[in-house]
């Protein structure tokens, strides 16, 4: 089974012609209330494809809790370990202008309660999971506690980047990052080790993943948008143990949540016993599927949907 420890949000999406300037009011066209949050997105992606998934997280006692968890419920994610805390559910207020540019205000709300003491209450579940999945939208000590308690394979998506204990990254198998996050992970590990090579600006991607592994990360998946992903792990048999996994060519409509679709699909496939490269191949196709539709969770495939 897969256990995702992470965030759940209600995303309030307003479409406008232009973003309001400070002090200005603009008219919006319509409002959508969608389930979001990286943790929930990843859990939904894995569950829709058929994985058995449990979610460890928190929502508030307000009206947004239902919106935040509706996608999880529809996908059949086990919510027995969802905690309801006093106060507000995590909310993202998003304005989407006609040019497609987003402005976003994120209110962590109940996600801030997913700390080490909450996570430790689910030690049994974490110890027994085939795969535990973590991201950066909950407190740092919650991530660290979950990494410590994971009994099986640990998938760490350092998104958004938070200053976790480098020991978390050294347990990640794989660490899933985009280019920006990969550089941040290098800085975290380098500071810790002190002896690593200096991190300069423009490193080629295969060099970045090579350095992450040299600094003690067991395996790395670097996502590269339309270019797919690089997979780096011991024993892949290719040059420097790095394999490039292409993404299928699709007409991209909205890349929101594509990275989360990738991570969820990857985790589900690893839990089924696939190897990392095979899992990344599937994840790249699921990511490409997700960019063909708008929004995050609504654009994710179900088992049986034809993937590009
Ligand atoms: P993030 O949004 O976290 O930076 P990426 O942009 O790398 O993540 O996207 C994650 C995955 O989604 C990619 O590895 C790829 O499989 C898929 N993807 C993203 N953008 C495209 C695209 N334009 N065409 C095809 N696949 C895409």
Ligand 1 binding pocket includes 255 (Cβ within 6 Å): yes
Radius of gyration of the chain (CA): 19
What residues form DSSP beta bridges with 101? Answer: none
Nearest CA to ligand 1 atom 20: 225
- In ligand 1, the atom with minimum distance to the C-alpha of 248 is 25
Nearest CA to ligand 1 atom 22: 226
Ligand 1 binding pocket includes 252 (Cβ within 6 Å): yes
ipTM of the complex: 0.98
Q: Would you please indicate which residues are annotated as catalytic (active-site) residues? A: 260
Asked if 88 contacts 64 with a C-beta cutoff of 8 angstroms, the reply is: yes
Nearest CA to ligand 1 atom 13: 225
Q: What whole-number distance in Å separates Cα of residue 191 and Cα of residue 193?
A: 6
Residue whose pair of structure tokens reads 């997979």 in the numeric block: 231
CB atoms within 10 A of CB 26: 13
CB atoms within 10 A of CB 17: 11
What is residue 294's predicted lDDT score, i.e. its pLDDT?
A: 86
Average pLDDT taken over every residue of the chain: 94
Q: What is the DSSP string of 123-175?
A: HHHHHH-SEEEE-SSS-HHHHHHHHHH--SEEEEE--S-----HHHHTT-TTE
pLDDT in tens, 47-93: 999 999 999 999 999 999 999 999 999 999 999 999 999 999 999 99
Q: What 8-state DSSP symbol labels residue 115?
A: S
pLDDT in tens, 199-255: 556 789 999 999 999 999 999 999 999 999 999 999 887 777 999 999 999 999 888
Asked if 190 contacts 168 with a C-beta cutoff of 8 angstroms, the reply is: no
Ligand 1 binding pocket includes 178 (Cβ within 6 Å): yes
Q: What whole-number distance in Å separates Cα of residue 255 and Cα of residue 19?
A: 20
CA of 91 to the centre of ligand 1 (A): 24
Could you check whether the bond before residue 160 is cis, i.e. omega within 30 degrees of 0?
yes
Query: 45, 161, 225, 256: which to mutate for ligand 1, most atoms within 8 A of CB?
Result: 225
CA of 288 to the centre of ligand 1 (A): 6
Could you check whether the bond before residue 77 is cis, i.e. omega within 30 degrees of 0?
no
- In ligand 1, the atom with minimum distance to the C-alpha of 286 is 16
What is residue 201's predicted lDDT score, i.e. its pLDDT?
A: 60
Ligand 1 binding pocket includes 161 (Cβ within 6 Å): no
Q: Which residues are annotated as a binding site for ATP?
A: 178, 223-228, 259-260
Nearest CA to ligand 1 atom 6: 225
Asked if 174 contacts 220 with a C-beta cutoff of 8 angstroms, the reply is: yes
Q: What whole-number distance in Å separates Cα of residue 37 and Cα of residue 114?
A: 13
What is residue 237's predicted lDDT score, i.e. its pLDDT?
A: 77
pLDDT band with cut points at 50, 70 and 90 for residue 195: very low
């Amino acid at each position: 089974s897969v256990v995702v420890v992470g965030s759940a949000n209600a995303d309030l999406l307003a479409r406008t012609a232009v973003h309001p300037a400070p002090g200005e009011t603009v008219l919006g066209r319509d409002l959508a209330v969608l389930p979001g949050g990286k943790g929930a997105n990843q859990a939904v992606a894995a569950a829709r494809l058929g994985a058995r998934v449990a979610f460890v997280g928190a929502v508030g006692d307000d009206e947004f809790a239902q919106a935040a968890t509706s996608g999880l419920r529809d996908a059949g994610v086990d919510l027995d370990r969802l905690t309801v805390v006093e106060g507000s559910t995590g909310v993202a207020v998003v304005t989407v202008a006609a040019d497609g540019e987003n402005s976003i205000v994120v209110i962590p709300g109940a996600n801030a309660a997913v700390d080490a003491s909450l996570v430790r209450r689910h030690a049994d579940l974490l110890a027994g999971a085939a795969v535990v999945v973590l991201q950066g939208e909950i407190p740092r000590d919650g991530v660290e506690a979950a990494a410590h308690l994971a009994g099986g394979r640990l998938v760490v998506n350092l998104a958004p980047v938070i200053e976790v204990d480098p020991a978390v990254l050294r347990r990640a198998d794989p660490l899933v990052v985009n280019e920006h996050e990969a550089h941040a992970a290098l800085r975290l590990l380098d500071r810790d080790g002190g002896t690593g090579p200096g991190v300069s600006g423009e490193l080629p991607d295969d060099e970045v993943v090579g350095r992450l592994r040299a600094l003690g990360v067991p395996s790395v998946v670097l996502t590269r948008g339309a270019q797919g992903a690089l997979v780096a792990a011991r024993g892949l048999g290719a040059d420097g143990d790095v394999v490039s996994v292409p993404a299928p060519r699709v007409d991209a409509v909205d890349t929101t949540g594509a990275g989360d679709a990738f991570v969820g699909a990857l985790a589900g496939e690893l839990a089924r016993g696939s190897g990392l490269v095979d899992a990344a191949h599937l994840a790249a196709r699921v990511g490409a599927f997700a960019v063909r539709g708008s929004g995050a969770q609504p654009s994710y495939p179900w088992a049986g949907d034809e993937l590009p």
